[in-house]
Amino acid sequence: MNTNKVVIIAAGTGSRIVEKTNDTPKTLLPFGKGSILSTILTNFNNSGINEFIIVVGYKSDLIKNYLKDNINFGLNITFVMNNEWLRGNGISVLLSEEATKGENFILSMSDHIVSESAIKRLIASEKDSNLLLVDQKINEIFDIDDATKVELIDDRIINIGKEIPDYNGIDCGVFRLKNNFYDAMREQLEKGRESISAAIEILIKNQDMHAVFTQKEDYWLDIDTPEAYKHGLEHLL
C-alpha cells in the first residue's frame, strides 16, 4: 500500500498565529533555512514522495507566489483551490479527490513538521488499512492540552479527539489513507459534520484505522500556537 503522493492542507487561516504575524499564512512563517512549508516539502521529498497536492484557500496567492518564486523547490506540485476555507478541514481533503486519482495518499497538515524517519516508517508500513502516525510518548508532548488524543487497542485506533477522556497516544498529524476516506467524508458531510476527524470516526467504526508508532529517533511538532512556534524554533532546529 505504498504511495508517492501527499495532500497538504493549507487552506485555513491559522488564526491563533496569523493575527500576530501581519496576516502571513502560518505555513509561510520562517523556519530553519526556509519556511514551515518548505521544511514540510523537503522532509516529504527526502522520504520518497514526488507528487504534491496542496489545497489552498486563505491568502492562496501568497502561498502560490512563494512557491513560484522558489520554482516550486523543483517539485511536482498541483494546487487545489478551496473557496470555502472557513468551513471544516474535511472540505479541503474532499476537494483533493480528483487529484489523487483513486490512489492511496499521504495526508498532512501544513503546520505539522514531521521527521523523515517517521514519514518513511508510515509510507513503508505493510498494514493494509488506513493509518495514522501516533506518538505514545505522552509525557514528552509539548502542549498536551491542545493535542489530538488517540485511544488504541494494540495498534488499532478505537477513538480520537482533543477531549476524549481515555487515551494512550497522540495524533502526529500525518495519515496514510485509502480512497475510502472520501466516501466516509461524504457520509459525514450529509450530517453536517465537516472535520477530518469526523471521517476518521467512520473508519474507526469499520475497524479500518490503525497506528504506525513513532520511534526514539523520530520527531514531530504541531505548530498551532505562538508558543509552539517558539518551541520549534528553539528546540526542533
d(CA 97, CA 61): 22
d(CA 7, CA 100): 8
Domain ranges (residues) in the chain: 5-236
Q: What is the DSSP string of 132-173?
A: EEEE--GGG-TTGGGSPEEEEETTEEEEEESS-S--SEEEEE
Collect all residues with Cβ–Cβ distance below 8 Å to 230 and sequence separation of at least 6: none
- State the pLDDT at residue 13: 77
Rounded average pLDDT over 133-140:
95
φ, ψ (nearest 5 deg) of residue 209: -140, 115
pLDDT above 60: residue 3: yes
20-24, 38-42, 126-130, 174-178: least confident range: 20-24
- pLDDT, tens digit, for every residue of 44-64? 999 999 999 999 999 999 999
φ, ψ (nearest 5 deg) of residue 102: 75, 5
What CATH number labels 5-236? Answer: 3.90.550.10
d(CA 180, CA 17): 33
- pLDDT, tens digit, for every residue of 202-217? 999 999 999 999 999 9
Provide the whole-model pTM.
Answer: 0.93
What would you measure as the largest C-alpha separation in the chain, in angstroms?
A: 47
Q: How many other C-beta atoms lie within 10 A of the C-beta of residue 97?
A: 18
Cell numbers that stand for 100 in this block: 489523487
